[in-house]
Amino acid sequence: MLTKWITTKAETAPVIRRRFTLETNINATLTICGLGFFEAYLNGKPVTDELFNPVWSDYTPRENRRMLYPIKDTFTHRVYYRVYEVSHLLQAGENTLEVLLGNGWFNQRERNVEGDFWYGEPTLSFTLTADGQTVESDEQCEYRESHIVFNNVYMGETHDYRGDVKTWKPCEFCEPPKGKLQEQTCPSDGIIRTITPKLLWQKGDEALYDMGENITGHVTFLQEGAAGCETVLRFCENLNADGSPNFDSCLATQIQTDRCISGGAPVWFAPHFTWHGFRYVHVKGPAAHVQGVVVHSRVAVTSTFDSSDETLNWLYETYLRTQLDNMHCGVPMDCPHRERLGYTGDGQACCDTALLMLDSESFYEKWMQDIADCQDPNGHVQHTAPFYGGGGGPGGWGGAIVAVPYFYYRHTLDSEVLTQYFPHMARWVDYMESRCQNGLVVREEEGGWCLGEWCTPDAVKIDPAFVNTYFLIKNLQRMAELADRMGQDPTPWQEKAQFHLDALHNAFYQPDGHTYGVQGADAFALDIGLGDDAMFDRLTAHYDETRQFDTGIFGTEILLRLLFSRGRGKTALRLLTSHEEHTFGHMMEAGATTLWERWQGANSHNHPMFGACTKQLFYGVLGIHPFEEIMTVAPCAHSLPQMAKGSLTTRNGTVFVAYRKQNDTVMGTVRCDKDVRLILPDGEQILPPNQEISFEF
């Protein structure tokens, strides 16, 4: 275990060295944690090809400085460490361990829009064992300055190869972080692939390159300039009309910038402790063999989708790219550049879809713990996890403490997650009810935000109290379901849900219009059991007429789920494939390769939250229902384009479904490696594993 922690007086990114002698290199393991990020090398070879270790957490108590709004909550703190088998990197006799330390979020002092969130100077602890011998981070460790003279997860990294080799100095012992030490089991970031970019223009020593898609990662290049010459890279998502870089969507006051200052010898540049969110890179100075490097969490794609409709295909590919671009350091983020925060609103909106389409269970195991760690004993849940500022609301954001474990359980049937997190859910309910007036959630923390819906095309008109009370009711309904699964009485949760349902109806139902309001309010109401068929018919007619969304990050998913599940797949399909102004088709026509933060294209161009509805390509269009007792496929002709096919890997097996329309007939095939129930209009049947069955209706 890690017991001795050391630090340095380096100005930035020190290299810490420990030389040691071993009698044997058999059964050697390295247990290590370097905060914020570390890279470890044994005898000059990297211990791993992982990046940005350890994953981000709320490491240790800190003073909350200059917060945008008062934070009085008590957090639970946690520090992750890595364990590596390193026998192959060691030798009997003399060995050297070197560790390069970066700031990460532990010592992030440059972006302070939300407040000052650093924890302290970089620190390191390690224990290396080999057949009973132990080497630790002790008084024999020494450090020197590295060539990295600036590193910040938001702003970028500067490498300076000028000057003499730095002298080694003794490290100092320091207080360990007070968070609970826990081995990291979720995936780290890594290099996924490389891209040869297109040179758009070159003028003197300046050039602009296009990666062809919005990515996260970095640019590597060969610098061959004379000593002292500088190469500067600046990253952006968009271009101005004249072809120059436009930094607005990534934040023009916070430009992602890498620098390399030559020492006179050729050098390959690549940053160690940051990534960028970008499509275009502006290069000033000498740079040969420019390559784009895609970096994000190593989470495998476990789904496929293709259809005759290019907009549906675009949505599938674009959501996947956006979601993966925003999975870093064990945290599902809102965007990969301007904020990079684990917003609980964005994260809970997309978790079901990400769990469905990606092998992301261990990733969300870690993030569930982050959410619980930032819950105050009174039940209040922060708007970001790990907590790093940010605004939101008690329902759509704080409700992640219910929604994420709920969806995780549906995908895994892991009952331990219910045992662990149900008490957290109950505390959140108590908190929400303490913020109620006449049964409606009307406030959160004093001086803070209390958002309801977010990012509607026009100004948000749907009442925040309506939306926050919806989330209280919806999560109470989920808790009743989970209580029943655990063998507990669901009645108390059902009764609470009914009380707030009545309050919501009494406060917001408008009998003259038979409606609960605008911007999809009737979809919210219908989703929790209010309204009737006539209301649903009016809702459907509205979207049949407009063929575009007036909903925000929550209502869009609710609306499409409701339409598909209640037999109005034709309307849902029209919305998904429409090219009106506030639609996915409009984003596609504008050349987007990742989803926008807002329907009109303002702000970030790499936000996954609207992509939560992408799961309906499988649940709605393909009719795959993986959470029944056995895998179920129930196609609906009205939900289908001319052709559609896809596959999913789930706890009930890997299933492949394909359909093609011919005149008034749908012809299809289905195959699964486990039993699958096929439900057609004229009946149902159980199909055996590993047999492809053809059908038509």
pLDDT tens digit string along 10-21?
999 999 999 999
Full domain range(s) for residue 449: 303-621
Residue 630 near residue 686, CB atoms below 8 Å: yes
- Contact (Cβ atoms closer than 8 angstroms) between residue 257 and residue 232: yes
670 and 579 share one domain: no
151 and 215 inside one domain: no
What confidence tens digit (pLDDT) does each residue in 442-480 have? 999 988 899 999 999 999 999 999 999 999 999 999 999
Domain shared by 196 and 182, yes or no: no
Pairwise CA distance, residues 405 & 411, whole Å? 10
pLDDT digits (tens, 9 = 90+) for 481-525: 999 999 999 999 999 999 999 999 999 999 999 999 999 999 999
Does residue 217 sit in the same domain as residue 357? Answer: no
Structural domain ending residue among the three candidates 278, 297, 316:
297
How high is the pLDDT of residue 403?
98
Residues 352 and 293 in one domain: no
pLDDT at res. 128: 98
Euclidean distance between CA atoms 608 and 333, whole angstroms: 9
165 has a pLDDT exceeding 80: no
Q: What is the rounded CA–CA span in Å between residue 253 and residue 239?
A: 17
**Which range, of 90-104, 156-170, 413-427, averages the lowest pLDDT?**
156-170
Q: According to the model, what pLDDT value does residue 69 have? A: 79
- Count CB atoms within 10 A of the CB of residue 380: 24
Q: Which two tokens stand for residue 52?
A: 């940005």
Backbone angles phi, psi at 591, to 5 degrees: 90, 15
pLDDT at 646 (0 to 100)? 98
Same domain? 117 vs 212:
no
Contact 462, 470 (CB under 8 A): no
Task: From 234, 265, 297, give the residue that closes a domain.
Answer: 297
Ranges assigned E (strand) in 545-664: 624-625, 631-633, 643-650, 653-662
Instruction: Give the whole-angstrom CA distance, residue 641 versus residue 308.
Output: 7
**H helices of 435-490, where?**
464-485
DSSP state, 512? T
Q: Are 602 and 504 within one domain?
A: yes
Q: What is the DSSP string of 240-307?
A: -TTS-EE-GGG-TTS--EEEEE--SS-EEE--SS--EEEEEEEEES--EEEEEEEEEE---B-EEEEE
| Residue 555 CB neighbour total at 10 angstroms | 26
Q: How far apart are alpha carbons 275 and 155 in whole angstroms? A: 9
Over range 326-348, report the average pLDDT.
Answer: 98
Q: At 65, is the pLDDT very low, low, confident or very high (cuts 50, 70, 90)?
A: confident
Q: What is the pLDDT of residue 64?
A: 67
Assigned domain for 632 exists: no
CA distance 629 to 386: 35
Co-location of 364 and 270 in the same domain: no
The pLDDT assigned to 290 comes to 98
Count of CB atoms within 10 A of residue 43's CB? 13
231 and 145 in one domain?
Answer: no
Match 């429409």 to its residue by tokens.
Answer: 578
Number of domains in the chain: 4
Regarding whether 350 and 231 lie in a shared domain, the answer is: no
Contact 350, 323 (CB under 8 A): yes
545 — phi, psi (to 5°)?
A: -80, -45
Phi–psi pair at 569, nearest 5 degrees: -65, -30
pLDDT, one tens digit per residue, over 391-429 is 999 999 999 999 999 999 999 999 999 999 999 999 999
Residue 165: which CATH number?
2.60.120.260
Which one-letter DSSP state was computed for residue 89?
G
Segment 259-287, tens digit of pLDDT: 999 999 999 999 999 999 999 999 999 99
Asked whether residue 579 is domain-assigned, the answer is: yes
pLDDT, averaged across the chain: 97
Specify whether 47 is located in the same domain as 108. Answer: yes
Q: What is the CATH number of the domain that holds 338?
A: 1.50.10.10
Binned at pLDDT 50, 70 and 90, residue 68 comes out as confident
333 and 289 in one domain? no
630 belongs to a structural domain = no
pLDDT at 23 over 80: yes
Return the SS3 of 619. helix
Which of 231, 266, 297 terminates a domain? The answer is 297
For residues 203-216, average pLDDT: 98
633 domain-assigned: no
